[in-house]
């Protein structure tokens, strides 16, 4: 199980405030992804700046930092076959107006600035982001009985 792909998910402040955290977590779980880390946190400015460092200097950077620190978020690490691609498919396009119907953003969001969920976009990004939010001893390894029906 150690080589199973993992990704970070952030259920953003707008989703928490709109009481959609459970719905979003459920969608990930129903896909077959396994939660190996999960917590409710308040992201502070230094952590937000590290998370969004790649966007520093861009016109929308300050807005990203301000938004992600505006209210609690749920951070999660999920794993499963093609976890990054599977998660991003469930999330939908960054712009909710063009997101596929049935995706989280396509179903529940209206604008890019408040699009409910973040998911890592690559394995390298996932590793970096997971390390920002979780200590290694906070991530669990376990097998579910249903796993053999999901991924063989």
- Residue 112 phi, psi dihedral angles, 5° rounding: -60, -40
What's the pLDDT at 147? 86
**CA atoms 83, 87, 93, 95: torsion sign:** negative
Catalytic residue among 64, 118, 120, 130: 118
- Return the pLDDT at 70: 98
What pLDDT does residue 88 have? 97
Main-chain dihedrals φ then ψ at residue 75, nearest 5 degrees = -110, 140
The whole-chain average pLDDT of the chain stands at: 95
Structure tokens belonging to residue 94: 């960054």
pLDDT at site 78: 98
Q: How far apart are the C-alpha atoms of 127 and 98, rounded to whole Å?
A: 28
Q: 3-state DSSP call for residue 88?
A: helix
Q: Please answer whether residues 117 and 12 qualify as being in contact, where contact means their C-beta atoms are separated by less than 8 angstroms.
A: yes
For residue 36, give the H/E element and its range: strand 34-41
Could you name the CATH architecture of 6-140?
2-Layer Sandwich (3.30)
Q: At CB < 8 A and 24+ separation, what contacts does 58-64 make? A: 63/113
118 noted as active-site residue: yes
User: What pLDDT score was predicted for residue 2?
Assistant: 54
For the chain, domain boundaries: 6-140
d(CA 20, CA 11): 9
- pTM value is 0.94
Question: Mean pLDDT by 10-residue block, N- to C-terminus, for the chain (152 residues)?
Answer: 86 98 97 97 98 95 97 98 97 96 97 95 97 97 88 68
User: SS3 of 137, please?
Assistant: helix
């Amino acid at each position: 199980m150690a080589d199973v792909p993992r990704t970070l998910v952030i259920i953003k402040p707008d989703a928490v405030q709109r009481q959609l955290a459970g719905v979003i977590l459920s969608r990930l779980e129903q896909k077959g992804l396994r939660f190996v880390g999960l917590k409710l946190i308040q992201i502070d400015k230094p952590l937000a700046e590290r998370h969004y460092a790649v966007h520093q200097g861009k016109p929308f950077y300050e807005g990203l930092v301000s938004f992600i620190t505006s209210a609690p978020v749920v951070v999660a690490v999920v794993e499963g076959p093609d976890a990054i691609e599977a998660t991003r498919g469930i999330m939908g396009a960054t712009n909710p107006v063009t997101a596929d119907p049935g995706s989280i953003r396509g179903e529940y969001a209206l604008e890019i600035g408040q699009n409910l969920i973040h998911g890592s976009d690559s394995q390298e990004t996932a590793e970096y982001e997971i390390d920002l939010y979780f200590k290694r001893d906070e991530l669990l390894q376990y097998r579910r009985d249903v796993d053999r029906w999901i991924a063989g």
